Amino acid sequence: MRYIEPHAHMVSRTTDDYLSMVTAGCSAVCEPAFWAGFDRSGVQGFHDYFCQLTDYEPKRAAKFGLPHFCWLCINPKESEDMGLAAEVLSIIPGFIDRPTVLGIGEIGLNKNTRNELAILERHIDLAARHDQLILVHTPHLEDKHKGTRLILDAIQADSRIQPDRVIIDHVEEHTVEMVLDRGHWAGMTLYPESKCTAARAVDIIECYGGERLWLNSACDWGISVPLAVPYAGLEMRKRQFSAGRIDQLLYGNPQKFLSQNPRFKAL
C-alpha cells in the first residue's frame, strides 16, 4: 500500500512516527500551520514556527526519505486576538515562496466568533492575491454545521477563489454533502476519540463515491494515530475495495488536489 498523509502536525511527533509512516507506505506528508497546544505570546513565535515548518521539519522528514510540505496561516483559535492575527498575516508573504509551501491553511473557524470570521476573510483575500490553494479547518462537534456553512459562504463571497482549489477538512456525515455541493474537496480526519473513525469514513465514501475526498490522521500533540490513513486502507480491504480503488483514495485523490501546486511531489 502507498499513501499520502495530507494533514499531519509532525512538529509534535517523534522520529519513530516518521519511521512507522515510511514503513507503512507513506509517500509524502503535508503539515498545515495550526495551534501548538498553547497560545503563542507574539508574532515572533509564529515567525519561528514558520521557519520550523519550512526549514527544519522538511530536513527531519528527509532523514527518513519522506518529502515534507506545509501550509501557512494563523489558526482560528489564536485569530481571536485580531492585533496578533494582523501581525502574523503581514509576515506570511515573506514565507510563501519557500520551496515546500503549498498554500494557506489550516484557516477556518473555531468558536464561530466575529473576530475569527474577519481573520478568515483576510486569509481568503491573501490566498486570492497570491494565487494560493486553501486548506480549511472546520469547528468541533456542536459548532461544526453552522461553522462549515459560515466558512462556505465566506469563500463563495470571494469570486477570485476557484472552489476546486479549496479543501474543507474534518468533514463528517452532516457536513460532507454541502462541501461537495459547492465544488470543494472534503477531508475526513481519522481520530480515535472524536471526528471520524475509519469505519465511518469508509461509510461516507460508500455513500458519496469517493470523488474529491481524502483521508488524513491530523496527528498532533493530543491523542491521535499517525498510521490512521493506512489503517483505513485495511478497513477498505476488509470491505472488498479493489487495490486500485484503495490506491485512488489514499494516493490518487490527495495527489490530484495537491498537484494543483506544482511544488508538490510525492514519492
Considering beta carbons, is residue 106 or 241 the nearer one to Zn ion? 106
CA–CA gap between residue 243 and residue 241 (Å, rounded): 7
Which one of 10-18, 30-38, 93-101, 226-234 is the stretch in contact with Zn ion (CB under 5 A)?
30-38
Q: How far is the CB of 35 from Zn ion (least distance, A)?
A: 8
Q: How far is the CB of 135 from Zn ion (least distance, A)?
A: 9
Interface with Zn ion (CB under 5 A), residue from 18, 34, 49, 257: 34
* Stretch 195-254 residues interacting with Zn ion (CB under 5 A): 218
Record the cell numbers describing residue 13, joined without a space.
511527533
Q: How far is the CB of 34 from Zn ion (least distance, A)?
A: 5
If binding means CB under 5 A, how many residues of this protein chain bind Zn ion? Answer: 2
Q: Which helix (H) or strand (E) covers residue 108, if one does?
A: strand 101-108
Considering beta carbons, is residue 198 or 246 the nearer one to Zn ion? 198
Q: Can you state the angle between helices 198-208 and 228-238, rounded to 10 degrees?
A: 60
Judge residue 159's burial from the number of C-beta atoms within 10 Å of its C-beta, 0-12 exposed, 13-18 middle, 19 or more buried. exposed
Record the cell numbers describing residue 130, joined without a space.
497570491
CA–CA gap between residue 138 and residue 144 (Å, rounded): 6
Residue 152 interacts with Zn ion (CB under 5 A)?
A: no
Residues that bind Zn ion (CB under 5 A): 34, 218
